[in-house]
Structure formats: structure tokens, C-alpha cells
Amino acid sequence: MTRTTEAAVDRYMRTVDRVVHDPEALKQLEAVFAPKATVQFGELPPVTGLADISEFYRNLYSDMADSKHVWTTTMLDEGTIEVRFITAWRAADGRLGSQSGIEHVTVDAEGLITELRVLIPQSDGA
């Protein structure tokens, strides 16, 4: 059964929130990303392949005590999913943080993410 494209984003967001409490959830990225998928956050170098993607997320969430994403999806004309998100987190040392942004996600015929790009919003100087 083919998964819907929006469901791929839902699985991704729920999985990365779980990684904070359960590092074993990284294994579930195999059900989210295609084997040769690429992830790129802003200007960071892209990460390709399940092993490197899993390590990237392990490092990204290693000092967090809690994380929660909320999001909406829009299908763009060219088949890319635009994800508008807000995330809030608590670091292991108690600091709080939040970020909003936009992701562009492409999904293959099996419903697995083949590319995920996080667009870092420009500061408005405020």
C-alpha cells in the first residue's frame, strides 16, 4: 500500500519529537526516509543516506530534554510539499528555545522522503 505524501511529513515530525525521549526511535527513520535521501538544514552541508541522516538527528537532539513540533502542509505545483512549522524545546540544562520555518519535502512513490530542505528564515532585524 502506498503511503500518502502528507503522511510522510506527519511520520517525520512525530519521529523526530520522539527521538528526544527515545534515541532508539532513530531506527524508525527507515520508515520515513528513502535509503539515499538527502537532508539539508539551511546553509549546513547536505547529509545523504540513512546512516548519516540518523547520525545527524542523533547529534541535533543529543542535548535536548523535550521537543514539540506543530505544522501544516501545502502541496506545491511541482509536487513538493511545503511544511510550515513551529518547534519549541527545552535543553537538558533547562534553557528554552523555539524556531519557526519552512521545509520543502519531496516523497517517492512508496511514500518515503527523498529530500528534505529546511529553509532558515531571514531575521527582520527586530
Claim: this prediction has a pTM higher than 0.75: yes
Residue 23: predicted pLDDT = 83
Fold for domain 5-119? Nuclear Transport Factor 2; Chain: A, (3.10.450)
Ramachandran angles phi, psi of 108, nearest 5°: -85, 180
Residue 3: predicted pLDDT = 47
DSSP 110: T
Residue 77: predicted pLDDT = 82
DSSP 102: E
Residue 4: predicted pLDDT = 59
Domain boundaries, the chain: 5-119
Q: What are the residue ranges in the chain where pLDDT is below 50?
A: 1-3, 123-126
In degrees to the nearest 10, what's the CA dihedral of 32, 36, 40, 44?
140
